Structure 1
Amino acid sequence: MTVLVTGATGRAGRHVARMLHDSGHRVRAAVSDRAATGPWDEKVAFSFTDPGTWDAAFAGVDRMFLMRPPQIGNVRRDMLPALERARQLGVRRMVLLSLQGAEKNPVVPHHALEKWLRASGLEWTFVRAAFFMQNLSTTHAADIRDRDEIVLPAGRGRTAFVDVRDVAAVAALALAEEGHAGRAYTPTGSRALSYAEAAETLSAELGRPIRYVTAGPVRYWRSARRQGMPAAMTMVTLALYTTCRLGLAAGLTTDVPDLLGRPPIDFARFAHDERAAWVPSAVPRS
């Protein structure tokens, strides 16, 4: 069995690749950077928008971890043709990294991916992740590191934060084991936090005050674009934070303990493990 892992150098994909490789599965990493290294058996240059890369990536693959690149907003145009080619070449199982509530939110691109997979005749599993804790140590790290603040349009809403390592473990399980086809899992943490509470935990870990600043949609858009976030990704994240502000992102599940046999990684452990992302001296200055 060969598993193709898209986004193999990303936050979730690298963990999926490592977990599958460590458990003895053959992993083919789909990468955009030919110099990329990681815990896999082979790598292949791949892009959803470059048909010339598809056949080499999909040949001999029967299972696939599917992750939407953040820069792709129109999945019907820019992803579905590649997935159709994968099906033609023998890929029979796809595990999609989706979003909490995607089935009810046609605005997010993951909704269209789920719809296609349901009608595809393939074995599919949706991993509808809650908000990654790691969004704070990557996408929003600069605000915390340089300005001691989290600036988001999430209002006072609570979020069922989940550690990406738990999400990857659920996805790897669905790829490696039988019995998960046609299932949708929503891995979350064990409690929903407001961003003010998240800031308090970061303050305790870092030993300096971190504050949460509620931003309106326009301010958030300008801030995200100024920091280099692509427009398509900015639109998606704005929609997601709006669901949080409206109180729709706080739902908790027991999928992580039910599937993995252990509690979810909590926010305090995440903050400790990722603290270097927010320590100014840990980040080289240009």
Structure 2
Amino acid sequence: MARGARGSRHLSPRRADGPLVVTGATGTVGAPVVRALVAAGADVRAAVRPGGPAVPPGPAEEVPFDWQDEATWRPAFAGAHSVFVVRPPQLGRPRTHMLPALAAAREAGVRHLVLLSLQGAEGNRVVPHATLERWMRGSGVPWTFVRPSFFMQNLTGTHRDEIRDLSTLVVPAGSGRTALVDALDVADVAAAALLDPTEHAGRAWTPTGPEALTYDEVAAVLSAELGREIRYARPGLLRYARHARASGMPWGMVAVTSGIYTVARLGRAGGLTDDVRRLTGRSPRDLRHFVARERAAWSTAGRTTGSSGATMDP
């Protein structure tokens, strides 16, 4: 697919009354969602975990919010129209970790829930997102699911150090293809859903990149852009689990990511959609554009942290 214009289509001001609450407002997807909504003139309430990073000064109202702290729920949801729901990776049991807060949002009168889910969640009951989707379908609150394919940002987050320090990409995906997507495109799709709840209620969108790549091809793009060879290691699940644990990944995340990479290895992660173009009016960013933009993340000289931060979800 040809590379399109890089600017987003102008997002019209929303048609609903009340603030739009963005959970995970400083994260990989939440932060650009806040920026997109503010740029569209929306009333944005950026929900951030107490003691965590703050949102940059600006028009968005910052409110403390913790999925497991009931005292933060009422102030965050009071008078809100919509909530962008982002599951923190460490919360692996959504039934107890998140559903009570979502029930509180419903009781507070929230009229639209937009969930950051993942590609294929509708057919994978094991992933936590499936539990959230099932609850929302039966909640009586209009919902929209954003089911992105695997984030390009995982290359600057979870896999950054191995690429930077070892010139190796350790992924148990075999030769399966993955429709990698830039989180900035996912954020634009989510913002579009939040800004027009009438149009998007009851719909599921699956933003993907413009091409499905094997990780051999991903390593080749990294090699070409970074000017050094990046090797793709093809570990089995046991070797991957040992590597991930040695890198500090919690067991719960090891299990989730192993399942996601297994989907890719089985050839089920390569499906492409035109959802980014349909909702933004432009082509999705490709991996070459992403790697060129984020090159500093893998710099062996400065050892700088990637601007995207760590994420494995999706």
**TM-score, L = length of structure 2:** 0.88
More deviation in 236-245 or 43-52?
43-52
2:301 maps to which residue? Answer: 281
Deviations 1:226-279 (A, max 9, x none): 222222222111100000000010011111111111111011000011111111
**Cα-Cα RMSD:** 1.3
Q: Among 27, 38, 45, which residue is 1:10 paired with?
A: 27
In the TM superposition, what is the alpha-carbon distance from 1:284 to its structure 2 partner?
5.5
1:92 maps to which residue? Answer: 111
One-letter code aligned to 2:268? L
Tell me the SS of whatever aligns to 2:204.
strand
Q: Among 104, 113, 121, which residue is 2:140 paired with?
A: 121
Q: Is the 8 A contact 1:28 1:40 kept in 2?
A: no
Which sections of structure 1, spanning at least 5 residues, go unmatched? none
Q: Among 51, 55, 73, which residue is 1:37 paired with?
A: 55
Segments ≥4 residues shifted beyond 4 Å = none
Q: Is the 8 A contact 2:117 2:146 kept in 1?
A: yes
1:255 maps to which residue? Answer: 275
Percent sequence identity over matched residues?
Answer: 55
Tell me the SS of whatever aligns to 2:74.
helix
- After TM superposition, list the pairs within 5 Å mapping 1:16-165 onto structure 2: 16-32=33-49, 33=51, 36-38=54-56, 41-165=60-184
- After TM superposition, list the pairs within 5 Å mapping 1:219-234 onto structure 2: 219-234=239-254
* Residues 1:271 and 2:288 are matched in the alignment: no
Q: Distance in 2 between matches of 1:34 and 1:113?
A: 24
1:214 maps to which residue? Answer: 234
In the TM superposition, what is the alpha-carbon distance from 1:53 to its structure 2 partner?
1.1
Going by fraction, where is strand more abundant, 1 or 2? 1
In the TM superposition, what is the alpha-carbon distance from 1:57 to its structure 2 partner?
1.0
Tell me the SS of whatever aligns to 1:43.
strand
* Count of aligned pairs between the two proteins: 285
Q: Distance in 1 between matches of 2:26 and 2:232?
A: 30
* Residues 1:237 and 2:257 are matched in the alignment: yes
1:198 maps to which residue? Answer: 218
Bigger relative contact order, structure 1 or 2, given CA contacts below 8 A and separation 6+? 2
| CA 57–247 in structure 1, closer or farther in 2 if over 3 Å, else same | same
**TM-score, L = length of structure 1:** 0.97
More deviation in 108-117 or 19-28?
19-28
One-letter code aligned to 2:258? L
